[in-house]
Amino acid sequence: MRCARRNRKSAARAQAAAPVSIAVDVPARDLGPWYALPMDGSESFEGLASRIEGDFRQQGRIRSFWEYLAEVRETPRRLLRSAPQYLRDMIEHYGSEETAILGVPTTRHKLCDGIEGDPERQRVVGQELAVDALYRAVRNFAETGRADKIVMMHGPNGSAKTTIADLLFKGLEAYSATPEGAIYRFAWVFPRTEVEGAGLGFGGRHPKAEDLDTFAYLEPDAIASTIASDMKTNPFYLVPRENRKALLEEFCGGTPSFPHVHVLRADMGTKSRAIFDSLMTAYKGDWKKVMRFVRVERFYISRRYRRAAVTIEPQGTVDAESRQVTADMNLANLPTALHNLRLFEVTGDLVDANRGLLEFSDFLKRPLELNKYLLTTTEKGTIRLPNALAYLDFVIIGSTNEKHLDAFKTDPNFTSFKARMELVTVPYLLEYEKEVEIYRDQMESIAKRLQVAPHASRAAALWAVLTRLWRPDPAHYEEPLRSAIGRLTPLAKALVYEGKDPGDLEDLAAEDVKLFRDHLAAIAGEWRDGVVFEGRFGASPREMKTILLDASFRTKTKCFTPVAVLAELRNLVRDKSVYDFLKLEPKGLYNNAARFVEDVERAVVRLVLRELQDSMALVDEEEYDRRFEEYFRHVTAYIRGTRVTDPRTGEERKPDPSVLRGVERLLPTGDDIDLFRQKLIGKVAASSLARPGTRLSYRTLFPEILRALKSDFYATRQVATSQVEDDLLLVGTPGWDSVPRDRRDQVETTLANMGSRHGYPRECALEMIGYALRRSRAQKKSDA
């Protein structure tokens, strides 16, 4: 049953039972910590101070226990969340959208885009499957209200495990500064014996201590001592356990809809419990009088200040301890009832992380003996220390690389730990366009010194992905994919993963390309759950960033192009002693980093030549669309047995065989031309049903036909295109002066289009065109 606001009868009953009449001031807006407020240079100091004070009060930074309890009555789900529920809500706060990664439907959490306002604006690129797996683990914890496992992210070095953890921390920090993310702790406040003249802090009367319903708002000079809750305990836990269930059900109008077992089970820290019990004894069970000593404080999660956000690096020390604090206090400042108490407080990383997130960085680099206590801690949610038992409420995440995980699996203790771990694989990316995004900072840095040609970072990303791919095993597939999978080269696989057409680069038949695309999820998932998963080995993004920077400093021209990247990669693959992935034994065409450099060069050359042909503008792009649409009008009429309407004359006539054959002669149609045409129309119909109301793009739906049409067009105009290519190679040489004016104009038009259509600075365009033409012509000469 959903928690509902109390009805009028219960409201009157609750109002009558309330010990004070202080109204709850729920802030309408939230500006975050006061030190984050913008300062207006023209504002007077007095005005600034007044504004800060007003914002402090509006944020509800301090309140009495009764005010807090009244707010819990209004929004119990929000204020009584456990750490897993809070973390889940934080991730959901930023939103999500459905997507697919390599054919696998998944959820993309927008937290991956980074936190708005963060000067670093960290992002997680391409790890949607890993982040969603982590979210689902947290969601499962939230269902029971407690995290009983460690979420262990594992993967190769540099695969974004640390970045994912950093975003979780930053998300929690930002969320805790929002109204819906408000989170509270409490402190004990003990007034001086005489408080005549001491106000309530924000104006009002000046009563004696015995007249006050709360000491939360006492002025500093009226306070004898303040003892904070070392565990950042939720103030609701000051309600005795035996009374919580009935109170919670009353607040929720019946059985609450959210898991609240943790609320009924949890308790305050050892120090606070000792103070609470002593005061209850002193006041003979008068709970209202005891609650006068409680000040509820809003706090903001902070990794810097270790408030509910802590990272533990590999170390050889324990993560928590207890110590006696009574001797450090001025006993005269405490009430008489507390003078004989031996108060112990708990400290350490686990305590600092309570109510939030705890990260074990490089978890398996720590001595195993130091981690064994986590088996009990995750199972019971407590940690036993000398003189103290700490109730813990946090989510534990960890990270480790594959080498340490492999070694750990051979340890006899692995089985016990595995039962308390939720393993989340974080591999290297297998989509090179997303890999390009990881290099953005490096490319922006390079762009400050050099002109940057398109595809420089793409060449690096494609090579990196090629080093990570694993050879398919035909035994894992059924026919007809089993027979074709052996023809899936590393370059073709990378292009299929990216949604590109590898047909012309790898001489693949259209039937093979379609088969690979249709079974993308099966191909990408072949090694996903194995020990040697795809993306476990290969070039690290960290290494690739260094390669890009080194290449930019070694380039001999004013332009940073793929040529410089390829040269750097050729140097890298010569030294197999440095990088582990270079030591892998080649399996067919796979695991061959040196060959991959040549594959990337072929891809770059082909891409630049396509852009060059397009930039020559020897035919209007609309001509391809016209020919597409004309062909499909005739195919549709042929299959349906209807007539074709001429768009210019309106005349109806039979489908023209010459129009059909003019396109189909360029395509691998197979022996059954009718079956080929039926499949085309079936694909058109399926696309129309999947995207109703959207104008069909034949270019997108049939890229192989577009490629064939363009190749045919340029083949019939080989003389004209060759002349433009020859003239481009003369730019900047003495021979350029002898080129006729009309041909110069054609060259300038081509270079201008290379800039406007494809993003090439003029110098970069000339460099890449020259490189691509020379490589292409040398290859043709070699083949001949």
- For range 50-66, the mean pLDDT: 76
pLDDT at 57: 66
Tell me the H-state helices in 145-233: 161-175
| Residues ≥6 apart with Cβ < 8 Å to 147 | 83, 84, 138, 141, 378, 394, 395, 396
User: Does 496 or 374 have the greater pLDDT score?
Assistant: 496
Ramachandran quadrant class, 37 (left: phi over 0; alpha: psi -120 to 50; beta: rest): beta
**Among 441, 582, 467, 620, residue whose Cα is nearest residue 534:** 467
Query: What is the b/e burial string over 462-478, where b = at least 16 CB atoms within 10 angstroms of the residue's CB?
Result: bbbbbbbbbbbeeeebe
User: Does 8 or 757 have the greater pLDDT score?
Assistant: 757
State the pLDDT confidence band at 9, using cuts at 50, 70 and 90.
very low
| Residues ≥6 apart with Cβ < 8 Å to 173 | 300, 301, 302, 303, 309
Query: Cα separation of 421 and 776, whole Å?
Result: 54
For residue 192 the two structure tokens come to 């001086």
| Residues ≥6 apart with Cβ < 8 Å to 73 | 6, 14, 251
Query: Cα separation of 407 and 581, whole Å?
Result: 19
How does pLDDT run across 187-235, given as a tens digit for each residue? 999 988 654 344 434 444 445 666 688 999 998 888 888 888 888 999 9
User: Does 428 or 653 have the greater pLDDT score?
Assistant: 428
Question: Which segments of 497-643 are extended strands (E)?
Answer: 559-560
pLDDT at 10: 44
Long-range CB contacts (within 8 A, 24+) of 29-33: 29/58, 29/179, 30/59, 30/177, 30/178, 30/179, 30/182, 31/55, 31/58, 31/59, 31/177, 32/177, 32/300, 33/177, 33/300
How does pLDDT run across 17-51, given as a tens digit for each residue? 443 333 334 344 444 444 444 545 555 666 777 77
Query: Cα separation of 126 and 99, whole Å?
Result: 11
pLDDT at 161: 96
Lowest mean pLDDT among 38-42, 517-521, 550-554, 658-662: 38-42
For residue 552 the two structure tokens come to 């930019």
How does pLDDT run across 378-435, given as a tens digit for each residue? 888 877 777 777 788 999 999 999 999 999 998 888 888 888 999 999 999 999 999 9
- For range 286-315, the mean pLDDT: 93
Amino acid at 612: L
User: Does 8 or 89 have the greater pLDDT score?
Assistant: 89
pLDDT at 463: 98
For residue 145 the two structure tokens come to 């209200």
Cβ count within 10 A of residue 763: 15
User: Does 619 or 441 have the greater pLDDT score?
Assistant: 441
Q: Are strands 344-347 and 321-324 parallel, antiparallel or unpaired?
A: antiparallel
pLDDT at 528: 87
DSSP state of 307: B
319 touches 350 (CB < 8 A) = yes
- pLDDT above 80 (res 728): yes
- pLDDT above 80 (res 127): yes
How does pLDDT run across 327-356, given as a tens digit for each residue? 444 455 677 677 667 777 777 888 899 999
- pLDDT above 90 (res 498): yes
pLDDT at 11: 41
Question: Which segments of 442-502 are extended strands (E)?
Answer: 451-452
DSSP state of 34: G
- pLDDT above 60 (res 567): yes
- pLDDT above 90 (res 256): no
HSE toward the beta carbon, residue 677, CA cutoff 13 A: 21
SS3 439: coil
Angle at 456 between CA 455 and CA 457, to 5 degrees: 95
Query: Cα separation of 423 and 527, whole Å?
Result: 16
- pLDDT above 90 (res 683): no
Query: Cα separation of 80 and 73, whole Å?
Result: 10
Verify cis geometry, omega within 30 degrees of 0, for the bond prior to 480.
yes
* Distinct helix (H) and strand (E) counts, the chain: 35, 19
pLDDT at 758: 95
- pLDDT above 50 (res 14): no
